[in-house]
Amino acid sequence: MSTTATTTGDAAVQVDQLVMRYGSVTAVEQVSFNAHAGRVTVILGPNGAGKTSTIEACEGFRSVTAGSVRVLGLDPQRDRKQLNKRIGVMLQDGGIYPTARVGEVVAHYCSLYGKGVVATEVIKTVGLEHRTKSTWKKLSGGEQQRLSLALALTARPEVAFLDEPTSGVDVNGRDMIRAVIKNLASTGCAVVLATHELDEAERCADDVVIFHQAKIVANGSLESIRSQSYEIRFRSGIAFDVAALAKYLDFPIQNMGDEYVITGTADAAVIGKFSEWMSFHGADIRDLRAGAQRLEDIFRRLTTGGAQ
């Protein structure tokens, strides 16, 4: 059996038909996805959707009820000793003693991994060089998140699991964390990032896995997920026959308050036909926008209307 995922195209993280139950509660139900080297895979979903359970199964913290998880070809629980040398972890709740100083805790973790990572450089990467002597409890929420991220970097990881890395972080801090994550992926690391922040996911993700009620409701590259959700949005000051327009264009049209949405296309030819039809029927067009839906809209559609 291969123990590494070094060949091109192998997924660094392979989750197959994963089921996780705690007593009578099913946290994860038949979930499958892959995460690849050099890409940022964002696991997205509301609180309680199963993101952290899945990530913790990948990190080896939790046993799986059924299905399988492989990280770099290894079983996260059985091969934990080998795997811990190769993965970086950022816990949702830090995992740092309140009286530990920034410089000391990073140097400590550099020693634990023993990969020649220089503590001062990691601290500089996350922008905490002015806080080296500060204790964890004296750091702001954003600084605490950056220190947690720094600890993941000390592993010089092949796979990094980051749980809610931008939670509670201000705008500038987010930019920095995003840049660090992108840079990490550019070194060939497979970054698996769990978040419930849609905007963050849209800015960071190469691939997106959307969780809802313990199941995956969308899984693919950000581009492919968005491309399935093209639309044309517009307003009109004059009433028109919506059903007739939909029939003419051969695309469904939804009336959403004062806005109309032609779903499933943003094609220029369709926009041309639409303009002609509206002009012919004496209806004006205002605020015309065409393109892929925002991730937020896709997420809302998938998680309020049931799985697709």
Partner 1 sequence: MSILFAQLRSEIRVIARNAEQLLVIIGIPAALLIFFSQVDVLPTNGQTPIDFLLPGIFALAIMSTAMVSLGIATGFERSYSVLKRLGATPLGAGRLILAKSLAVVLIEILQLVVLYAIAVMLGKEADIANVALLVAAIFAGTLAFAGIGLLMAGTLRAEINLAAQNGLYLLLLLLGGVIFPLDELPEPLQNVGKLLPSGALADVLRGAITDTAAYGQTSWIVLACWAVLAPLTATKFFRWN
What is the C-alpha to C-alpha distance for residues 122 and 106, in angstroms, rounded to an integer?
A: 8
In the list 63, 78, 98, 224, the residue contacting partner 1 (rule: CB under 8 A) is 98
Binding mask 113-142 for partner 1 (x = CB under 8 A): xx----------------------------
Using an 8 Å Cβ cutoff, are 67 and 28 in contact?
Answer: no
Task: Please pick, from the candidates 11, 20, 57, 96, the single residue that binds partner 1 as defined by CB under 8 A.
Answer: 96
Q: Retrieve residue 8's tokens.
A: 């091109």
Q: How far apart are the first and last CA of the chain?
A: 36
Tabulate helix, strand, coil % of the chain (nearest 5).
35, 30, 35
- Nearer Cβ to partner 1, position 98 or 252? 98
Residue 58-77 contact track with partner 1, rule CB under 8 A, x = bound: -xxx----------------
Task: Indicate whether 112 belongs to the interface with partner 1 (CB under 8 A).
Answer: yes
DSSP secondary-structure letter at 138?
G
Cβ closest to partner 1, residue 40 vs residue 90: 90
Q: Which residues pair with 159 in a beta bridge?
A: 87, 190
Judged by CB under 8 A, the number of residues near partner 1 is: 26
* Residue 158 and residue 192 in contact, taking contact as beta carbons nearer than 8 Å: no
With respect to partner 1, which residue has the nearer C-beta, 106 or 302?
106
In this chain, which stretch among 30-38, 110-118, 169-177, 210-218 interacts with partner 1, using CB under 8 A? Answer: 110-118
Q: Which DSSP helix (H) or strand (E) runs through 38?
A: none
CB closer to partner 1 out of 37 and 91? 91
CA–CA separation, 296 and 299 (whole Å): 5
Q: Interacting stretch for partner 1, rule CB under 8 A, among 6-14, 105-113, 173-181, 224-232? A: 105-113
Q: Name the minimum Å distance from CB 19 to partner 1.
A: 22
Question: Given the rule CB under 8 A, which of 92-100, 179-187, 219-227, 241-249 is the region that contacts partner 1?
Answer: 92-100
User: Which structure tokens are listed for 92?
Assistant: 């949702």
Task: Please report the sign of the dihedral spanned by the C-alpha atoms of residue 160, residue 204, residue 51, residue 216.
Answer: negative
Structural contact between residues 138 and 105, judged by C-beta atoms closer than 8 angstroms:
no
Footprint on this chain of partner 1 (rule: CB under 8 A)? 59-61, 81, 84-85, 87, 89, 91, 93-100, 104, 108-109, 111-114, 151, 155
